[in-house]
Protein backbone atom coordinates (compact mmCIF):
# COMPACT_ATOMS: atom_id res chain seq x y z
CA UNK A 1 0.00 0.00 0.00
CA UNK A 2 1.11 3.57 -0.69
CA UNK A 3 0.53 5.99 2.17
CA UNK A 4 -0.61 9.56 1.53
CA UNK A 5 2.06 11.17 3.72
CA UNK A 6 4.76 9.40 1.66
CA UNK A 7 3.19 10.70 -1.55
CA UNK A 8 3.23 14.23 -0.13
CA UNK A 9 6.92 13.96 0.71
CA UNK A 10 7.93 12.38 -2.58
CA UNK A 11 6.04 14.82 -4.77
CA UNK A 12 6.66 17.85 -2.53
CA UNK A 13 2.92 18.06 -2.55
CA UNK A 14 0.34 20.11 -0.70
CA UNK A 15 -2.73 18.41 0.75
CA UNK A 16 -5.56 20.81 -0.12
CA UNK A 17 -8.17 18.75 1.73
CA UNK A 18 -6.60 18.94 5.21
CA UNK A 19 -9.58 17.21 6.81
CA UNK A 20 -8.60 13.96 5.09
CA UNK A 21 -6.18 11.66 6.89
CA UNK A 22 -2.45 11.66 6.00
CA UNK A 23 -2.55 7.97 6.81
CA UNK A 24 -4.90 7.26 3.89
CA UNK A 25 -3.49 4.47 1.71
CA UNK A 26 -3.71 3.54 -1.96
CA UNK A 27 -3.44 0.16 -3.64
CA UNK A 28 -2.32 1.33 -7.11
CA UNK A 29 -1.48 4.42 -9.11
CA UNK A 30 -3.14 5.48 -12.34
CA UNK A 31 -2.22 8.53 -14.45
CA UNK A 32 -4.44 10.14 -17.08
CA UNK A 33 -6.12 13.36 -18.13
CA UNK A 34 -8.90 11.36 -19.77
CA UNK A 35 -11.70 10.47 -17.39
CA UNK A 36 -12.93 7.93 -19.95
CA UNK A 37 -9.64 6.07 -19.49
CA UNK A 38 -9.99 6.26 -15.71
CA UNK A 39 -13.47 4.74 -15.93
CA UNK A 40 -12.18 2.06 -18.28
CA UNK A 41 -8.94 0.96 -16.69
CA UNK A 42 -8.24 2.32 -13.20
CA UNK A 43 -8.65 -0.12 -10.35
CA UNK A 44 -10.65 0.60 -7.19
CA UNK A 45 -8.52 2.08 -4.42
CA UNK A 46 -6.07 3.71 -6.85
CA UNK A 47 -4.43 7.13 -6.56
CA UNK A 48 -5.07 9.20 -9.69
CA UNK A 49 -2.43 11.55 -11.13
CA UNK A 50 -3.98 14.03 -13.53
CA UNK A 51 -3.59 17.43 -15.14
CA UNK A 52 -7.36 17.93 -15.25
CA UNK A 53 -8.65 20.05 -12.39
CA UNK A 54 -12.44 20.23 -12.69
CA UNK A 55 -15.36 18.66 -10.85
CA UNK A 56 -15.52 15.71 -13.25
CA UNK A 57 -12.34 14.38 -11.67
CA UNK A 58 -14.00 14.12 -8.24
CA UNK A 59 -17.17 12.65 -9.73
CA UNK A 60 -15.18 10.11 -11.75
CA UNK A 61 -13.20 9.06 -8.67
CA UNK A 62 -16.42 8.67 -6.71
CA UNK A 63 -18.08 6.55 -9.40
CA UNK A 64 -15.02 4.34 -9.99
CA UNK A 65 -13.99 4.03 -6.31
CA UNK A 66 -10.62 5.78 -6.66
CA UNK A 67 -9.11 6.81 -3.34
CA UNK A 68 -7.21 10.06 -3.98
CA UNK A 69 -6.04 12.57 -6.59
CA UNK A 70 -2.73 14.32 -7.34
CA UNK A 71 -3.03 17.38 -9.58
CA UNK A 72 0.25 17.92 -11.46
CA UNK A 73 1.95 21.09 -12.69
CA UNK A 74 0.50 23.15 -9.85
CA UNK A 75 -3.06 22.89 -11.17
CA UNK A 76 -5.44 23.74 -8.37
CA UNK A 77 -9.15 22.92 -8.50
CA UNK A 78 -11.76 25.55 -7.63
CA UNK A 79 -13.15 25.84 -4.10
CA UNK A 80 -16.41 24.08 -5.00
CA UNK A 81 -14.47 21.10 -6.36
CA UNK A 82 -12.45 20.92 -3.15
CA UNK A 83 -15.74 21.05 -1.24
CA UNK A 84 -17.10 18.12 -3.28
CA UNK A 85 -13.97 16.12 -2.51
CA UNK A 86 -14.22 16.85 1.22
CA UNK A 87 -17.85 15.73 1.19
CA UNK A 88 -16.72 12.41 -0.29
CA UNK A 89 -13.65 12.18 1.97
CA UNK A 90 -11.43 12.15 -1.13
CA UNK A 91 -7.91 13.50 -0.50
CA UNK A 92 -6.63 16.01 -3.07
CA UNK A 93 -2.93 16.84 -3.48
CA UNK A 94 -1.31 19.53 -5.62
CA UNK A 95 2.28 19.16 -6.85
CA UNK A 96 4.26 21.53 -9.03
CA UNK A 97 5.93 18.60 -10.76
CA UNK A 98 5.11 17.66 -14.33
CA UNK A 99 3.12 14.50 -14.99
CA UNK A 100 6.31 12.76 -16.16
CA UNK A 101 8.33 13.68 -13.09
CA UNK A 102 5.50 12.84 -10.71
CA UNK A 103 4.97 9.45 -12.39
CA UNK A 104 8.72 8.76 -12.39
CA UNK A 105 8.92 9.40 -8.66
CA UNK A 106 5.77 7.42 -7.91
CA UNK A 107 7.15 4.45 -9.84
CA UNK A 108 9.82 4.16 -7.17
CA UNK A 109 7.15 3.74 -4.51
CA UNK A 110 5.19 1.06 -6.31
CA UNK A 111 6.45 -2.50 -6.37
CA UNK A 112 4.65 -3.69 -9.52
CA UNK A 113 5.19 -0.58 -11.63
CA UNK A 114 2.00 1.12 -10.65
CA UNK A 115 -0.92 -0.46 -12.38
CA UNK A 116 -1.29 -4.14 -13.09
CA UNK A 117 -2.68 -5.08 -16.47
CA UNK A 118 -6.01 -6.81 -16.45
Partner 1 sequence: MPAAEAVFRQDFPVKGGDFAHAGAVACRIKELLKDLGLDAATVRRAAIAAYEAEMNVIMYAWEGRMDLAVSPDEVHITVDDRGPGIADVELAMTEGYSTATREMRELGFGAGMGLPNIKRNSDILHIDSRTGEGTRLKIVIRRNGHGAS
Residue ranges binding partner 1 (CB under 8 A): 33-37, 39-40, 44, 52, 54-57, 59-60, 62-65
Beta-bridge partner residues of 68: 47
Shortest spacing between CB 11 and partner 1, in angstroms = 21
Shortest spacing between CB 83 and partner 1, in angstroms = 14
Distance between CA 17 and CA 33 in Å, rounded?
Answer: 21
Residue closer to partner 1 (CB basis): 8 or 41: 41
CB distance 26 to 50 below 8 Å: no
Shortest spacing between CB 64 and partner 1, in angstroms = 6
Beta-bridge partner residues of 2: 26
With the CA atoms of 46, 51, 52 and 58 taken in that order, what torsion angle do they form, in degrees rounded to the nearest 10? 30
**What's the CA angle centered on 43, arms 41 and 46, to 5 degrees?**
120
Residue closer to partner 1 (CB basis): 5 or 56: 56
Residue closer to partner 1 (CB basis): 79 or 111: 79
Shortest spacing between CB 7 and partner 1, in angstroms = 22
Residue closer to partner 1 (CB basis): 12 or 37: 37
Amino acid sequence: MIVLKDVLALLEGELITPATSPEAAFRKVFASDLMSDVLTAAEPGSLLLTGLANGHVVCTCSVADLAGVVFVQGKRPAADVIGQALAKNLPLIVTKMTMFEACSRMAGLVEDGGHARR
